[in-house]
Amino acid sequence: MSILVVGSVAYDTVATTRETRERQLGGSASFFSIATLGAAEVRCVGVVGDDFKQEDLDLLASRGADVSGIKRVAGKSFHWSGRYHDDMIERDTLATELGVFADFQPEIPESWRGSEYLFLANIHPSLQAHVLEAMSGPRLTALDTMNLWIETTPNELRTILGKVDVLLVNDGEARQLTGKRSLAHAAEAIRAMGPTRVIVKKGEHGALLFGTESVLAVPAIILDDVVDPTGAGDSFAGGFMRSLALSGADRSSDDTPYRQAMLDGTVTASFCPEGFSVEGLLGIDDAGYQKRMNTLRGMMVP
């Protein structure tokens, strides 16, 4: 099974109360790809500048991502900078320097257009729509977005929402998108916009799946230490899509594979905050993964 992801491939500067790390590997497509753990063929579409280190592309490739769809062009790579509050939950975005990302026109190689699974990571909704149009009918399309697009490009976002199967958003974004306070009402309103399934991420409080025949609430794994939560949402998406690809689920499947995918997303995402950048994800091995899956299941049964 193959998964195509289009998103940012970036350098992030992250400040926490303990430490600041400058220009480390980040971007939604980077976290997503590594989180798929080489279990499916992951095809990355993105753009980087001439400052982007080859070793970072090599790292993605060494983790099973096909990076031949990441174009290198003259200019600076996308750079995001944020500072976490003491609680390691709230963060302030200090800078978003688009660089070469400003003129990004995703090009999908001919041989990738038949990819079975499509993840439209958080980029301009028109670019997401452009990518979806180039594909020849994926089994399943999932979409991520953010407050920026909800505020600045609501019409474009509505158009693409009408064409995808799954939306992943955080609770604040779900409320902002729909104007509904209740998450159940927000999910209902989102489903009326197009996606048949909605995942509402609630950070340290876990995530909700509003499926076609059921609702599932999955807690987040309780971590001893949070170093840098940047990318946890994209890591969740990577684990979620890996799970669906491995089970061969499509949009007409019942909720069963989606419920399992919620657990895989949660377990995968739990490794991300344990290190800066993608370091936490790089530490995942089979035994550690299984141990956390057992912990999670243990948290969910009476």
* Site of interaction with ligand AMP (CB under 6 A): 8, 10, 12, 26-28, 80, 96, 122-123, 148, 230-234
Identify the sign of the CA torsion 91, 106, 10, 276: positive
Residues forming beta bridges with residue 79, ordered by sequence position: 11, 97
CB of 257 to ligand AMP, least distance (A): 23
Give the span between the Cα atoms of 230 and 245, in whole angstroms. 25
Q: Which is nearer to ligand AMP, 80 or 258 (CB)?
A: 80
Q: Which is nearer to ligand AMP, 211 or 231 (CB)?
A: 231
CB of 30 to ligand AMP, least distance (A): 7
CB of 253 to ligand AMP, least distance (A): 26
CB of 270 to ligand AMP, least distance (A): 13
Give the span between the Cα atoms of 283 and 271, in whole angstroms. 8
Q: Which is nearer to ligand AMP, 96 or 176 (CB)?
A: 96
Q: Which is nearer to ligand AMP, 209 or 257 (CB)?
A: 209
According to DSSP, the β-strands at 197-201 and 65-72 are: unpaired
CB of 233 to ligand AMP, least distance (A): 3
Q: Which is nearer to ligand AMP, 96 or 247 (CB)?
A: 96
Report H helices in 213-255.
232-247
Identify the sign of the CA torsion 117, 35, 142, 244: positive
According to DSSP, the β-strands at 10-15 and 2-6 are: unpaired
What's phi and psi for 85, nearest 5 deg?
-75, 175
What's phi and psi for 262, nearest 5 deg?
-65, -40
Q: Which is nearer to ligand AMP, 202 or 251 (CB)?
A: 202
Give the span between the Cα atoms of 12 and 5, in whole angstroms. 19
CB of 292 to ligand AMP, least distance (A): 19
Q: Which is nearer to ligand AMP, 203 or 257 (CB)?
A: 203
Rg (CA), the chain: 18
CB of 8 to ligand AMP, least distance (A): 3
Paired tokens of 279? 């370091």
